[in-house]
Structure 1
Amino acid sequence: MGDIEQILQTSWPILLMVVIFYFLLWRPQKKQQKERANLLSSLKKGQKIVTIGGIYGEIIELDDEKVKVQVAEKVEMTFARTAIASVVSKKK
Protein backbone atom coordinates (compact mmCIF):
# COMPACT_ATOMS: atom_id res chain seq x y z
CA MET A 1 0.00 0.00 0.00
CA GLY A 2 2.88 2.36 0.73
CA ASP A 3 4.31 1.92 -2.77
CA ILE A 4 1.06 3.03 -4.42
CA GLU A 5 0.85 6.14 -2.23
CA GLN A 6 4.45 7.01 -3.04
CA ILE A 7 3.82 6.61 -6.78
CA LEU A 8 0.73 8.84 -6.56
CA GLN A 9 2.61 11.48 -4.57
CA THR A 10 5.46 11.61 -7.08
CA SER A 11 3.32 11.49 -10.23
CA TRP A 12 0.65 14.11 -9.46
CA PRO A 13 2.80 17.03 -10.76
CA ILE A 14 3.16 15.23 -14.11
CA LEU A 15 -0.58 14.57 -14.27
CA LEU A 16 -1.24 18.22 -13.43
CA MET A 17 1.08 19.30 -16.28
CA VAL A 18 -0.75 17.01 -18.72
CA VAL A 19 -4.12 18.49 -17.72
CA ILE A 20 -2.78 22.05 -18.06
CA PHE A 21 -1.25 21.20 -21.45
CA TYR A 22 -4.59 19.81 -22.64
CA PHE A 23 -6.67 22.84 -21.60
CA LEU A 24 -4.19 25.57 -22.58
CA LEU A 25 -2.71 24.20 -25.80
CA TRP A 26 -4.27 21.15 -27.37
CA ARG A 27 -7.99 21.86 -26.93
CA PRO A 28 -7.92 25.48 -28.20
CA GLN A 29 -5.78 24.44 -31.17
CA LYS A 30 -8.25 21.72 -32.17
CA LYS A 31 -11.12 24.20 -31.86
CA GLN A 32 -9.29 26.70 -34.07
CA GLN A 33 -8.55 24.00 -36.67
CA LYS A 34 -12.22 23.03 -36.75
CA GLU A 35 -13.31 26.67 -37.21
CA ARG A 36 -10.80 27.13 -40.04
CA ALA A 37 -12.00 23.96 -41.78
CA ASN A 38 -15.60 25.21 -41.50
CA LEU A 39 -14.59 28.60 -42.95
CA LEU A 40 -12.81 27.04 -45.93
CA SER A 41 -15.63 24.59 -46.66
CA SER A 42 -18.31 27.30 -46.50
CA LEU A 43 -16.73 29.66 -49.05
CA LYS A 44 -19.15 30.79 -51.75
CA LYS A 45 -19.04 32.77 -54.94
CA GLY A 46 -19.59 36.50 -54.29
CA GLN A 47 -18.10 36.59 -50.79
CA LYS A 48 -15.56 39.27 -49.98
CA ILE A 49 -12.43 37.76 -48.46
CA VAL A 50 -8.93 38.55 -47.20
CA THR A 51 -6.02 36.25 -48.02
CA ILE A 52 -3.25 35.37 -45.59
CA GLY A 53 -1.10 37.81 -47.57
CA GLY A 54 -3.52 40.67 -46.86
CA ILE A 55 -5.09 40.89 -50.32
CA TYR A 56 -8.77 41.87 -50.32
CA GLY A 57 -11.06 40.64 -53.05
CA GLU A 58 -14.28 38.96 -54.07
CA ILE A 59 -14.60 35.29 -54.93
CA ILE A 60 -15.66 34.86 -58.55
CA GLU A 61 -14.93 31.16 -58.99
CA LEU A 62 -13.88 28.28 -56.75
CA ASP A 63 -13.28 24.55 -56.71
CA ASP A 64 -11.92 22.09 -54.15
CA GLU A 65 -8.34 23.39 -54.26
CA LYS A 66 -8.35 26.84 -55.88
CA VAL A 67 -10.18 30.14 -55.53
CA LYS A 68 -10.28 32.82 -58.23
CA VAL A 69 -10.54 36.26 -56.67
CA GLN A 70 -11.25 39.60 -58.30
CA VAL A 71 -9.06 42.16 -56.56
CA ALA A 72 -9.81 45.12 -58.84
CA GLU A 73 -11.69 45.78 -62.05
CA LYS A 74 -10.32 43.38 -64.69
CA VAL A 75 -7.74 42.00 -62.22
CA GLU A 76 -8.23 38.39 -61.19
CA MET A 77 -5.89 36.26 -59.10
CA THR A 78 -5.98 32.55 -58.34
CA PHE A 79 -5.12 31.36 -54.83
CA ALA A 80 -5.02 28.04 -53.04
CA ARG A 81 -8.20 27.64 -51.03
CA THR A 82 -6.07 27.38 -47.87
CA ALA A 83 -4.70 30.91 -48.54
CA ILE A 84 -8.02 32.47 -47.48
CA ALA A 85 -7.65 34.00 -44.02
CA SER A 86 -11.16 35.32 -43.41
CA VAL A 87 -14.46 36.39 -44.91
CA VAL A 88 -15.01 40.15 -44.72
CA SER A 89 -18.72 40.09 -45.47
CA LYS A 90 -21.13 37.53 -46.76
CA LYS A 91 -23.22 37.99 -49.88
CA LYS A 92 -26.88 38.45 -48.96
Structure 2
Amino acid sequence: MAAAADPGMLGLAMQFLPFIGIFVLFYFLLIRPQQKRQKEHQAMIGAVKRGDTVVMSSGMIGKVTRVENDEVMVEIAQGVNVRVVKAMIADVRNRTAIAANDAKS
Protein backbone atom coordinates (compact mmCIF):
# COMPACT_ATOMS: atom_id res chain seq x y z
CA MET A 1 0.00 0.00 0.00
CA ALA A 2 1.66 3.21 -1.18
CA ALA A 3 1.33 6.24 1.04
CA ALA A 4 -0.56 8.99 -0.76
CA ALA A 5 0.46 12.62 -0.37
CA ASP A 6 -1.28 14.27 2.53
CA PRO A 7 -4.02 16.52 1.12
CA GLY A 8 -3.32 19.06 3.85
CA MET A 9 0.32 19.44 2.79
CA LEU A 10 -0.66 19.72 -0.88
CA GLY A 11 -3.16 22.46 -0.04
CA LEU A 12 -0.55 24.29 2.02
CA ALA A 13 1.95 24.12 -0.85
CA MET A 14 -0.67 25.47 -3.26
CA GLN A 15 -1.32 28.42 -0.94
CA PHE A 16 2.38 29.40 -0.91
CA LEU A 17 2.88 28.97 -4.66
CA PRO A 18 1.62 32.50 -5.56
CA PHE A 19 3.95 34.06 -2.96
CA ILE A 20 6.91 32.20 -4.41
CA GLY A 21 5.94 33.33 -7.90
CA ILE A 22 5.67 36.96 -6.77
CA PHE A 23 9.09 36.78 -5.11
CA VAL A 24 10.67 35.37 -8.29
CA LEU A 25 8.99 38.12 -10.33
CA PHE A 26 10.26 40.83 -7.96
CA TYR A 27 13.76 39.37 -8.10
CA PHE A 28 13.98 39.49 -11.89
CA LEU A 29 12.17 42.83 -12.34
CA LEU A 30 13.51 44.86 -9.41
CA ILE A 31 16.34 43.35 -7.39
CA ARG A 32 18.58 41.98 -10.15
CA PRO A 33 18.58 45.13 -12.35
CA GLN A 34 19.27 47.31 -9.29
CA GLN A 35 22.27 45.16 -8.34
CA LYS A 36 23.57 45.42 -11.92
CA ARG A 37 23.25 49.24 -11.89
CA GLN A 38 25.02 49.37 -8.52
CA LYS A 39 27.95 47.31 -9.83
CA GLU A 40 28.22 49.54 -12.93
CA HIS A 41 28.18 52.68 -10.74
CA GLN A 42 30.91 51.28 -8.48
CA ALA A 43 33.06 50.48 -11.52
CA MET A 44 32.48 53.96 -12.94
CA ILE A 45 33.46 55.62 -9.66
CA GLY A 46 36.53 53.42 -9.37
CA ALA A 47 37.70 54.56 -12.80
CA VAL A 48 37.45 58.32 -12.09
CA LYS A 49 40.70 60.06 -12.92
CA ARG A 50 42.07 63.58 -13.04
CA GLY A 51 40.64 65.61 -15.90
CA ASP A 52 37.28 63.80 -16.05
CA THR A 53 34.11 65.85 -16.10
CA VAL A 54 31.69 64.61 -13.45
CA VAL A 55 28.06 65.26 -12.61
CA MET A 56 27.40 65.20 -8.89
CA SER A 57 24.17 64.00 -7.32
CA SER A 58 23.28 67.63 -6.56
CA GLY A 59 23.36 68.39 -10.29
CA MET A 60 26.61 70.39 -10.27
CA ILE A 61 29.07 69.68 -13.05
CA GLY A 62 32.79 70.00 -12.51
CA LYS A 63 36.23 68.82 -13.52
CA VAL A 64 38.20 66.42 -11.31
CA THR A 65 41.49 67.95 -10.19
CA ARG A 66 42.62 65.40 -7.60
CA VAL A 67 41.61 61.82 -6.75
CA GLU A 68 42.00 60.29 -3.29
CA ASN A 69 40.72 57.03 -1.80
CA ASP A 70 37.17 58.06 -0.92
CA GLU A 71 37.12 61.68 -2.07
CA VAL A 72 37.86 63.76 -5.14
CA MET A 73 38.56 67.45 -5.59
CA VAL A 74 36.24 68.93 -8.18
CA GLU A 75 36.67 72.33 -9.77
CA ILE A 76 33.15 73.73 -10.18
CA ALA A 77 34.29 77.20 -11.31
CA GLN A 78 37.65 78.68 -12.13
CA GLY A 79 39.61 78.68 -8.88
CA VAL A 80 36.75 77.09 -6.87
CA ASN A 81 37.57 73.56 -5.74
CA VAL A 82 35.33 71.44 -3.54
CA ARG A 83 35.92 68.07 -1.91
CA VAL A 84 33.30 65.52 -2.91
CA VAL A 85 32.74 62.01 -1.60
CA LYS A 86 33.11 59.61 -4.55
CA ALA A 87 29.75 57.99 -3.83
CA MET A 88 28.02 61.30 -4.59
CA ILE A 89 29.23 61.28 -8.20
CA ALA A 90 26.20 60.48 -10.34
CA ASP A 91 27.85 60.35 -13.76
CA VAL A 92 31.26 60.60 -15.39
CA ARG A 93 31.23 62.32 -18.75
CA ASN A 94 33.78 61.89 -21.49
CA ARG A 95 36.61 64.34 -20.94
CA THR A 96 36.78 65.19 -24.64
CA ALA A 97 33.07 66.05 -24.85
CA ILE A 98 32.43 69.75 -25.27
CA ALA A 99 29.21 71.36 -24.17
CA ALA A 100 27.20 73.14 -26.85
CA ASN A 101 27.72 76.60 -25.35
CA ASP A 102 31.46 75.98 -24.89
CA ALA A 103 32.06 75.17 -28.55
CA LYS A 104 34.25 77.69 -30.31
CA SER A 105 32.91 78.90 -33.64
Q: TM-score range by the shorter chain?
A: 0.7 to 0.9
Within 2, Cα distance between the matches of 1:38 and 1:22? 23
Higher-RCO chain (CA-CA 8 Å, sequence separation at least 6): 1
Give me the CA root mean square deviation. Answer: 1.7
Within 1, Cα distance between the matches of 2:86 and 2:16? 45
- Say if 2:68 is the partner of 1:63: yes
Which residue does 2:81 correspond to in 1? Answer: 76
Paired residues, number: 92
Unmatched 5+ stretches in structure 1? none
Instruction: Flag the structure with higher strand content.
Output: 1
Unmatched 5+ stretches in structure 2? 97-105
- Say if 2:19 is the partner of 1:14: yes
**Percentage of identical aligned residues:** 29
> TM-score of the superposition, structure 2-length normalised?
0.78
1:30 aligned residue (5, 20, 35) = 35
Residue deviations 1:37-68, cap 9 Å, x none? Answer: 11111111110111111111110101111110
Within 1, Cα distance between the matches of 2:79 and 2:14? 69
- Larger mean CA deviation between 81-90 and 49-58 belongs to 81-90
The residue type equivalent to 2:85 in the other structure is: A
Q: Which secondary structure does the structure 1 equivalent of 2:65 belong to?
A: strand
